[in-house]
Chain A
Amino acid sequence: MVAFVLRRILVSILILVAASFLMYVMVGYSAQPLQDLQGSNSPNKQQLINARVALLDLNVPPPLRWVLWIGGVAKCAIPFANACDLGSTISNARVIDILPNALAATVQLVTLALVLAILLGVTIGIITALRQYSGLDNTVTFISFFLYSLPAFLVAVLLKEFVAIGFNDFLRDPVIGGVALVVIGLVVGAIWQSLLGGDGRRRLVVFLVSGLATSGILLLMSATGWFKHPGLGAIPVILLVSAIALGAATLLAGLRNRRAYITAGINAVIAILAYFTLQPLFDISSAGTLFILALATAAVGLVSGFLAGGYDRGQNMRVGTVTALMSGAVVLLDRFMQSWGALVTATNGRPIATVGSKTPGLSGDVWLVGLDTFTHLTLPTIALLLISFAGYTRYSRAGMLEVLSLDYIRTARAKGLPERTVIVRHAFRNMLIPLTTLVAFDVGALLGGAIITEKVFAIPGMGSLFNAGLGRGDLNPVMGYFLIVAAMAITFNFLADMAYAGLDPRVRIR
């Protein structure tokens, strides 16, 4: 095992070094870093050119320059020496200094998109597998084919030019028209009836109830000016938290497990109490406080699940944690929404941003800044999400169908387990194993997609570092980008292999 890991790491480093040589030489020969100076009319042109040649060692041919560069990179391996040298940009800034900010912006963007894509994709993939060849399944299959064929820049431009501007225009006079209400109601009703399935009568009831409820709520929101002053308020928070508790307990433990319901109930009550008592604390909170609160929430979930006990403590703890975290998210959402008015004022009534990663000159408490980051990230995240979402849907659907056709599922059904247990506890877990490989591939694809998304939305991340560097013939930032992305891709592949071996006892690594 240790030998395998060591060998694997060594091979990975060698591959990274070889790939960096390939990349360096290719970019080195294609780049023209002196182009802007050669075209300039400045009197000290020759002097400037000489200075840049000296700065970037341009008189050394690229293959030899790579040796100098990799020597600087190798210094990063010395611990605590802070001797990293990734070279400097054309404008004489050290790459190692500009890299961390860019990396933070990209990681923020990619992580959210990745997590959401996995959650949504796997959920929808499972539902379509359980309703194979239904109208829902065929629709989702077509949509995922469509998303496969949709280039990232098209989605991004579409979201920026039409959705963002349209939504901001809508917010100026937030009234939903009658036709729109009916159409939304019909669409939502159709989606819910196909999700829940069942016979004709049940489908009709679901369709009517969900459609009417959606239209009604939207009408109420529109009439009371909710879109201008959004927020949840006490009663919706209580209702949402209760729904989360019921849903988590039913889905994870099943209707008969009374202790799971007790656990979920305890957490829901604590969340509602926290909602009423913690508001003054929220007002003076910083990001650190929120992190501590999140940890405390998870701890409460785990401990309450453990104390409620019963024959399956692990299950109770899962129910407790899920309920606690999701209820906490609702409480936080409510608090974030309270800052909406301030954000709308600060952005002159156009809160959904299309450019950059924060509103320039905006300062305020953690809620306002957080909400601002959120509105800036929404569209780029959706753009990234839509691309990888299709892959997760297809893979989890196929994986679920394959697992469901195996013998042990038949055994589980034959011994009389309820369908929920068969799906959630037997099939779902084994279906997740092959997805680890897909996640590893997807990280690379998302980082590549970030080049385009960051360009469209003008986010100062890794992608724009690469893009600007390549355009100017600036070799070192391009290589800095490459180093991080390739290292991440290799690391995730490695982690996926290890996870696979850990999760699937049939896989043995030598």
Chain B
Amino acid sequence: MSAPISSGPTPPPDMPADELAVASSVPESQGRLIWRRFVGNKIAVASIVILLLIVLFSFSAIGIGPIHGWWQYGYKSLNPQVNRGDPTLSLLPRFLGGDGISLGEHPFGQDRIGKDYFAMTMRGIQNSALVMVVLGLIATVVGVVVGAIAGYYRGTVDAILMRVTDVFIVIPALVIGSVVGNKFGSLGAPVLAIMLGFFSWMGIARLVRGEFLSLREREFVEAARVAGASDMRIIFRHILPNAMGVVIVSATLIMASAILLETALSYLGYGIRSPDVSLGLLISSNQSAFQTRPWLFWWPGAFIVSLALLVNFVGDGLRDAFDPRHRRFKLSKMRETRPEPEPEEQQ
């Protein structure tokens, strides 16, 4: 997946990235270095902030479960049609000729039967966020365990686990998702996310296996073994921390595709079912009304794309931070910073 992308000319051989870190005045740990590289990536940091804000906003607006949020309508309640269901949101200030900044009665409008579209969209975002996190976590944990065991033990164990992975990987994600969703979609978003997670771990397993195959030959593993560490300790305390870069980056990418998978399944009718709300379900159930009420399309559409886009940007930033070979390299900046090289300045 993460093919090495050396962006343009490589830095001069007398200044590889690792030595740049040593050259700076204060010695830094690996984690601190990665953190500084990530924070230096403005797009990624902005993305993660906006993403968290959107999710917090959606949870605070309509609340979680029995807890009420600050928004007056629920996503299931039917309301009288106000202004033919047009959105009442107004962002243009009065001095620019608009109606002033106000939310109004139904900021995102109403659907055909009068449900408040703002509350529904917020509920959809909640569900997307939930599926993203739960699916991502489960797929990552299963994938890491399978990949680590296969890569560490090699031989027969590896062969069996990898053939199992092959069996799962043959079925396209959307196909297996539809089958799983058909069975478990009616049980709600958390169950759906957990079940989908158990069918999405194959990519991570292969990557982690590859990392383990090369890391297990290194000296520090040998040292740990000589010191009498158990296999589990070597796998999880010695090798895995060194493979965390691959794990975190591909977990983020799985999360981005989880959003798209959930919305697509809900669109097809195999995901989250009414009366619960998913952004994909909103688009599917209002499809016939788009000519007369286009906002029924634009709100969920915009939020699906923004969520996925923001997660993808975060993933890209993480990849840059973990793998210096991916670093965006600019010749002009290289020249500017040559006297006192600072790796995080070159983002």
Query: In the complex, A451→B263 CA distance in Å?
Result: 14
Interface string of A452-486 (1 = CB under 8 A from B): 10010000000000110011000000100110011
Q: A145: CB under 8 A from chain B?
A: yes
Interface string of B159-181 (1 = CB under 8 A from A): 00001001110111111101110
B5 contacts A398, CB within 8 Å?
A: yes
**In the assembled complex, which residues on chain B have CB atoms less than 8 Å from the CB atom of A161?**
287, 290-291, 297
Interface string of A147-160 (1 = CB under 8 A from B): 01111111001100
Query: In the complex, A485→B269 CA distance in Å?
Result: 21
A493 to chain B, nearest CB (A): 9
Choose from B174, B269, B290 the contact partner of A471 (Cβ within 8 Å). B269
Q: B268: CB under 8 A from chain A?
A: yes
B263 contacts A157, CB within 8 Å?
A: no
Determine the residue in chain A with the shortest Cβ distance to B283.
A157
A64 to chain B, nearest CB (A): 19
B8 contacts A145, CB within 8 Å?
A: no
Choose from B5, B175, B268, B311 the contact partner of A401 (Cβ within 8 Å). B5
A162 to chain B, nearest CB (A): 8
Query: In the complex, A405→B270 CA distance in Å?
Result: 47
B291 contacts A29, CB within 8 Å?
A: no
**In the assembled complex, which residues on chain B have CB atoms less than 8 Å from the CB atom of A447?**
172
Q: B313: CB under 8 A from chain A?
A: yes
Interface string of B303-316 (1 = CB under 8 A from A): 01100110111001
Known A434-B3, A445-B172, A451-B175; contact A133-B268, beta-carbon cutoff 8 A = no
**In the assembled complex, which residues on chain B have CB atoms less than 8 Å from the CB atom of A449?**
174
**In the assembled complex, which residues on chain A have CB atoms less than 8 Å from the CB atom of B175?**
448, 451, 466, 481-482, 485
Size category of the binding interface on chain A = 35 or more
A451 contacts B183, CB within 8 Å?
A: no
Of B6, B171, B264, B301, most buried by chain A (CB within 10 Å of CB) is B171
**In the assembled complex, which residues on chain A have CB atoms less than 8 Å from the CB atom of B260?**
149, 151
**In the assembled complex, which residues on chain A have CB atoms less than 8 Å from the CB atom of B280?**
151, 153
Query: In the complex, A14→B166 CA distance in Å?
Result: 10
Q: B36: CB under 8 A from chain A?
A: no
**In the assembled complex, which residues on chain B have CB atoms less than 8 Å from the CB atom of A149?**
256, 260, 305, 308-309, 311-312
B163 contacts A146, CB within 8 Å?
A: no
Interface size on B, residues (CB 8 A): 49
Which of A19-27, A218-226, A301-309, A376-384 lines the interface with chain B?
Answer: A19-27
B183 contacts A26, CB within 8 Å?
A: yes
Q: A274: CB under 8 A from chain B?
A: no
**In the assembled complex, which residues on chain B have CB atoms less than 8 Å from the CB atom of A402?**
4-6
Interface string of A436-449 (1 = CB under 8 A from B): 00000000110111
Determine the residue in chain A with the shortest Cβ distance to B316.
A145
Choose from A16, A148, A470, A486 the contact partner of B308 (Cβ within 8 Å). A148
Q: Is the interface of A mostly helix, strand, loop or mixed?
A: helix
Choose from A15, A401, A482 the contact partner of B163 (Cβ within 8 Å). A15
Q: Which residues in chain B, 2-34, are within 8 Å of chain A measured between CB atoms? A: 3-10
A151 to chain B, nearest CB (A): 5
A152 contacts B264, CB within 8 Å?
A: yes
Determine the residue in chain A with the shortest Cβ distance to B266.
A153
Query: In the complex, A269→B176 CA distance in Å?
Result: 54
Determine the residue in chain A with the shortest Cβ distance to B328.
A133
**In the assembled complex, which residues on chain A have CB atoms less than 8 Å from the CB atom of B88?**
none
Q: A369: CB under 8 A from chain B?
A: no
Known A161-B291, A485-B172; contact A23-B308, beta-carbon cutoff 8 A = no
**In the assembled complex, which residues on chain A have CB atoms less than 8 Å from the CB atom of B60?**
none
Q: B267: CB under 8 A from chain A?
A: yes
Q: B330: CB under 8 A from chain A?
A: yes
A189 to chain B, nearest CB (A): 27
A504 to chain B, nearest CB (A): 14
Query: In the complex, A23→B178 CA distance in Å?
Result: 11
B297 contacts A145, CB within 8 Å?
A: no
Q: A279: CB under 8 A from chain B?
A: no
Choose from B167, B287, B316 the contact partner of A157 (Cβ within 8 Å). B287
**In the assembled complex, which residues on chain A have CB atoms less than 8 Å from the CB atom of B178?**
451, 466-467, 470
A133 contacts B269, CB within 8 Å?
A: no
Q: A489: CB under 8 A from chain B?
A: yes
Query: In the complex, A162→B182 CA distance in Å?
Result: 30
Query: In the complex, A162→B283 CA distance in Å?
Result: 14
A197 to chain B, nearest CB (A): 16
B172 contacts A444, CB within 8 Å?
A: yes
**In the assembled complex, which residues on chain A have CB atoms less than 8 Å from the CB atom of B308?**
148-151
Q: A165: CB under 8 A from chain B?
A: yes
B6 contacts A16, CB within 8 Å?
A: no
**In the assembled complex, which residues on chain A have CB atoms less than 8 Å from the CB atom of B180?**
26
Query: In the complex, A292→B297 CA distance in Å?
Result: 47
**In the assembled complex, which residues on chain A have CB atoms less than 8 Å from the CB atom of B3?**
395, 398-399, 434
Determine the residue in chain A with the shortest Cβ distance to B310.
A149
B179 contacts A151, CB within 8 Å?
A: no
Query: In the complex, A399→B6 CA distance in Å?
Result: 9
B7 contacts A30, CB within 8 Å?
A: no
Q: List 6 A-B contacts (CB under 8 A).
A: A148-B308, A150-B308, A399-B3, A401-B7, A405-B10, A486-B170
**Further pairs besides A22-B167, A26-B180, A27-B179: 10, Cβ < 8 Å:** A22-B168, A23-B176, A30-B183, A145-B313, A149-B260, A149-B311, A153-B267, A158-B301, A434-B3, A486-B171
